[in-house]
């Protein structure tokens, strides 16, 4: 195994999902929904499969999907992208993140990112031979995760190539505020850095908790330096399809595509027309999706608080983090490893998403993208802990 990959073991999601199936525990670890996405989308996929759309599609994605991605971004965020040259389909957001970093970073370049971060970030940065400069998000006033503007400023420097920003943010559930985004944008302009934005939870900013989702590319001077990434997995409850996309100015999209063509070449032909159908659904689909997830959030937040956790209610995503110290635990990793035996529930330790492992030691993450009866069962089991 090459040196640069040695720090990376099996992903925490694989480890925890294996633990769940071995013990029969309720799996609130890995974030995937337990119900299928919109029936129109599923029908379109079946039709494409039977209709012979089973050979290599075009490298950047089929034109109807690129057109649907463009229309969707125009409809929800007022962003204009040319489907020919400014949009590329990828194997989920994961491939887009890797290809963006590999296509934009020279060895030794620095990537500013916010910890705790999604686990593929550190690995993709390492594959490129780049260095991560983490800025730590910490629980602050009113249980909201906040960043220290001075820490962010200090993370930028002459070697900064790009900032990797995920909002709504996994695992904290933080939705970056307009003021925070404005500072990120200012620093990108000042240091002439690119931005790669992971917006897979773009439709999961909860209306009662946050000002709403704001793509960084909508801020002045940012469209021309931002690669904006999203994926069908979250919005349309099809995480197993691995259909994602990236939008940006053609120079940056070409840099990504140069790498992508040698990673996967093209992606799942019959799923692409289906995702195009989903992106074109009425506004009510997106509103109902968010409202449904918001109700599940409320259910799990209340249940965890009842079970004795110190809960940090999320402003977005389908994850909630909680401090385990009120339950007599000190370490989230030990807590999560023992939890299936103790009460038949799987959660993910937030610590593994930090470089500063002290900062996340007491935090664990639960996914609430599950049926209400499954969440209720998990809560009943967790209540046995006290």
Burial of residue 3, with CB atoms counted within 10 A of its CB: 0-12 exposed, 13-18 middle, 19 or more buried: exposed
Taking the complex as a whole, how short is the minimal distance between the CB of residue 278 and ligand PMP, in angstroms? 14
Give me the least distance between CB of 386 and ligand PMP, in Å please: 30
Q: What does 13 bind: ligand PMP, ligand GLN, none (CB cut-off 5 to 8 Å by kind)?
A: ligand GLN
Total chain residues near ligand PMP (CB under 6 A): 13
Nearest Cα residue to 244 out of 262, 256, 255, 252: 256
SS3 (DSSP) at 90? strand
Residue 24 to residues 240, 297, 334, 376, 384, Cα–Cα distance (Å): 21, 23, 19, 16, 17
The 68-97 site mask, x for binding ligand GLN (CB under 6 A), equals ------------------------------
Helix spans in 224-280 (H): 232-235, 250-263, 271-279
Q: Shortest Cβ distance from residue 261 to ligand PMP (Å)?
A: 18
Binding mask 46-85 for ligand PMP (x = CB under 6 A): ----------------------------------------
Using CB under 6 A, pick the residue from 4, 8, 23, 30 that binds ligand GLN. Answer: 30
DSSP-derived secondary structure letter, 115: E
If one asks whether residue 231 binds ligand PMP (CB under 6 A), the answer comes out as yes
- Should residue 27 be labelled a site residue for ligand PMP when binding is judged by CB under 6 A? no
For the record, the structure tokens of 97 come out as: 């993140």
Told to check if 8 binds ligand GLN by CB under 6 A, we report no
241-to-89, 123, 261 alpha-carbon distances in Å: 13, 22, 19
Distance CA 98, CA 259 (A): 9
| Out of 170, 230, 272, 294, the residue judged to bind ligand GLN by CB under 6 A | 170
| Block residue for tokens 């918001």 | 294
CB atoms within 10 A of CB 303: 21
- Which one of residues 31, 33, 83, 349 is an interface residue with ligand GLN (CB under 6 A)? 31
Asked if residue 27 binds ligand GLN (CB under 6 A), the reply is no
CB 215 within 8 A of CB 228: yes
Give the one residue of 4, 8, 13, 333 binding ligand GLN; rule: CB under 6 A: 13
Work out which of 93, 164, 304, 336 binds ligand PMP, going by CB under 6 A.
Answer: 93
- Asked if 198 touches ligand PMP (CB under 6 A), the answer is yes
Binding part of the chain for ligand PMP, among 50-58, 88-96, 295-303, 348-356 by CB under 6 A, reads 88-96
Rounded distance between C-alpha atoms, residue 112 and residue 116, angstroms: 12
- The nearer residue to ligand PMP, 132 or 242, going by C-beta atoms, is 242
Return the number of other C-beta atoms located less than 10 Å from residue 281's C-beta: 18
Q: Which residues contact 72 (CB under 8 A, 6 or more apart)?
A: 279, 280
- DSSP designation for 344: S
Contact residues for ligand GLN, defined by CB under 6 A: 11, 13, 30-31, 170
Contact residues for ligand PMP, defined by CB under 6 A: 92-94, 118, 166, 170, 198, 200, 231, 233, 239, 242, 244
């Amino acid at each position: 195994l090459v040196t640069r990959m040695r720090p990376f073991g099996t992903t925490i999601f694989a480890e925890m999902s294996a633990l769940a199936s071995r013990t029969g525990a309720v799996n609130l670890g890995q974030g995937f929904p337990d119900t299928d996405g919109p029936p129109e989308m599923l029908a379109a996929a079946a039709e494409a499969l039977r209709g012979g759309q089973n050979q290599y599609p075009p490298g950047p994605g089929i034109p109807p999907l690129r057109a649907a991605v463009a229309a969707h971004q125009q409809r929800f965020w007022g962003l204009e992208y040319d489907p020919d040259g400014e949009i590329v389909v990828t194997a989920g957001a994961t491939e887009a993140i890797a290809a963006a970093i590999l296509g934009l970073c020279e060895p030794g370049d620095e990537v500013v990112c916010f910890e705790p971060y999604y686990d593929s970030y550190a690995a993709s940065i390492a594959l490129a031979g780049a260095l991560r400069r983490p800025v730590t998000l910490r629980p602050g006033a009113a249980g909201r995760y906040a960043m220290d503007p001075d820490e962010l400023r200090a993370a930028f420097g002459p070697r900064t190539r790009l900032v990797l920003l995920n909002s709504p943010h996994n695992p904290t559930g933080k939705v970056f505020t307009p003021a925070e985004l404005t500072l990120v944008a200012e620093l990108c302009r000042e240091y002439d850095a690119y931005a790669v934005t992971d917006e897979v939870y773009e439709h999961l900013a909860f209306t009662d908790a946050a000002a709403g989702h704001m793509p960084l590319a909508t801020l002045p001077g940012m469209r021309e330096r931002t690669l904006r990434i999203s994926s069908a997995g979250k919005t349309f409850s099809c995480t197993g399809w691995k259909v994602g996309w990236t939008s940006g100015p053609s120079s940056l999209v070409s840099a990504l595509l140069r790498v992508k063509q040698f990673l996967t070449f093209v992606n799942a032909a019959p799923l692409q027309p289906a995702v195009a159908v989903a992106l074109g659904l009425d506004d009510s689909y997106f509103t109902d999706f968010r409202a449904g997830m918001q109700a599940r959030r409320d259910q799990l937040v209340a249940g965890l608080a009842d079970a004795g956790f110190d809960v940090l209610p999320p402003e977005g995503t389908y994850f909630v983090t909680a401090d385990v110290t009120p339950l007599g635990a000190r370490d989230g990793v030990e807590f999560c490893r023992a939890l299936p035996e103790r009460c038949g529930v799987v959660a993910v330790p937030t610590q593994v998403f930090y470089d500063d492992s002290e900062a996340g030691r007491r935090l664990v993450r639960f996914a609430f993208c599950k049926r209400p009866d499954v969440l209720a069962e998990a809560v009943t089991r967790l209540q046995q802990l006290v």
